Amino acid sequence: MQIVLITGPAGIGKSTLCWEMSAQLAAEGVAHAVIETDELDRVFPRPRPEDLEKHWPGTIDVSSINLAAIWSTYQALGHSRLIMSGVMMHLAFDRRWILAAIPDAEITVVRLAATEPTILARLAQREVGSGAEEQTERSLRQARRMAEEDSAGMIVVHTDGKTPEALSRAVLREVGWLGNG
């Protein structure tokens, strides 16, 4: 079981990259699944730990429960490759809840990076409404923090000036899911 975990600050292009990776894999006939981790815990009100304990003893994260449920279906259908995306500010914690859901997974982390002007331009296209300024500030904080972290053991991909198609080909070749084409 292989997971390519696409991380990076909000607005960096994680979803766009995942969609393009999926399209390129599909074009090559490579079986895979895609899950955006934001959707695993988009619920209000947030489940209380004691409620989660009833469903899955020992867990405090609804994302892990939902990932296990979704993956069990994909696995039953014969899938062994999963593309996941999420900000993942606490990578050690995130690895734990992912592995709690999919214990046999090998996780390859791909962290997207870009200059602040690029992030700002992408956010300006995406963010509208009353939360835009707050999201921009949060994204820049995330990008700065990630840039300072040790990147050992992960693939760091600089996205400035690169198309989703080119980035996807590069990532898929790096993780060995596509040939040199």
Q: Give pLDDT tens digits for 35-90.
A: 999 999 999 998 988 889 888 888 878 999 999 999 999 999 999 999 999 999 88
Contact (Cβ atoms closer than 8 angstroms) between residue 27 and residue 174 = no
Upper half-sphere CA count for residue 156 (Cβ side, 13 Å): 13
| Out of 21-25, 106-110, 133-137, 143-147, least confident range | 133-137
Question: Does residue 178 sit within a domain?
Answer: no
Q: What CATH number does residue 8 fall under?
A: 3.40.50.300
- Residues β-bridged to residue 87: none
Question: Does residue 162 sit within a domain?
Answer: yes
Question: Does residue 65 sit within a domain?
Answer: yes
Q: Are strands 81-85 and 154-158 parallel, antiparallel or unpaired?
A: unpaired
Number of domains in the chain: 1
Question: Does residue 177 sit within a domain?
Answer: no
Q: What's the predicted TM-score (pTM) here?
A: 0.90
The range of the structural domain enclosing residue 27 comes to: 2-172
Q: Are strands 2-7 and 81-85 parallel, antiparallel or unpaired?
A: parallel
Question: Does residue 123 sit within a domain?
Answer: yes
Question: Does residue 63 sit within a domain?
Answer: yes
Question: Does residue 51 sit within a domain?
Answer: yes
